A = this chain, B = another copy of it.
């Protein structure tokens, strides 16, 4: 149970509604002795923050405050509580449609599940909740970096435009992606993606895409057979991000169309180490990491909030009505989803390393 907590040893609990007082998280199980300051976290929050030509107009400062678990710049091994106040909240546009269920949103399902409705900006189902995940993920990434493991992501596809990263190193991919408004390291594709997004905005519509995240330099041996396999754990983490409708590892759905002789990665010796010549497995075999890069891709659906008129139901009147969703929405959330997927992947890898005994209880 406990749907708002994630992780086994490195365990994150998030809380907060979009238009409530604040959002936040508590990390239980972070090793003691890790240098932590708010800057590390702020950097990642700023990557997720609304803003830019292509994004929503909600202007949140998203300033994180650490309330516990850190003393004299180091983690204590006790829970790290972090808080981000909600400041630029405008519930007005939501009030008008508070009896209507927005198509593609969780309005209807939350109402069925909880018998009550927080109509203010999507409430707990809002993507604003992911700010808390990013804050927790920042600490996971920071912890992983101490052990030489890096997590980076980019927009692999937006609005049907697929990017090409052949020949790019992990570092190039990550750096180039950060320079781009759409978080795509391939400049040509990035330009086309922007066009797709701006076109969708003009039409009052939206587009989706695919986020890819790479774990560079992971240790072999991560993942718990048979149910908490590393790929299963990653799928759980990533499919639980708002708007994600598909997850794949390595060759993924493409593997389903390959022959065994094509898909199997030959095992070789390289620099005196057992390695794999190709990486269709995406770094995971039998649910356990094999030491190669871990590759995860997430299918992100188009933003459900669109200004085109849509058919829906007014639940108080129990009548069909037309809805036009105003509010402040991104025509494409893929670029902002990148740090969120990274955060969830980082938490999984940090937790799996702790489970495997590769990160001690104190540093």
Contact = CB atoms under 8 A, between A and B. Distances in A.
Contacts of A304: 260, 263-264
A2 B15 contact: no
Interface stretch (A50-58, A186-194, A241-249): A241-249
Which of A4, A29, A106, A233 counts the most chain B CB atoms within 10 A? Answer: A4
Interface in A227-283: 227-229, 231-240, 242, 244-253, 255-269, 272, 274, 277, 281-282
A148 interface: no
A64 interface: no
A42 interface: no
Interface stretch (A138-146, A164-172, A176-184, A217-225): A217-225
Contact of A207 (B157, B224, B259, B272): B259
Contacts of A228: 1-3, 240
A301 interface: yes
A59 interface: no
B29 A108 contact: no
Given A259-B205, A261-B306, A355-B1, A118 B71 contact: yes
A256 B244 CA distance: 9
A23 B26 CA distance: 12
Contacts of A1: 1, 8-9, 11, 29, 224, 228, 355
9 contacts: A4-B26, A16-B81, A22-B81, A77-B114, A108-B220, A109-B285, A264-B304, A264-B310, A268-B311
Given A115-B363, A264-B304, 11 more contacts: A3-B223, A4-B28, A16-B81, A104-B265, A108-B267, A206-B259, A229-B239, A239-B247, A259-B302, A269-B318, A269-B319
In the A-B complex, the 8 residue pairs with the closest CB atoms: A106-B286, A3-B224, A232-B240, A246-B248, A109-B288, A236-B236, A206-B260, A115-B362
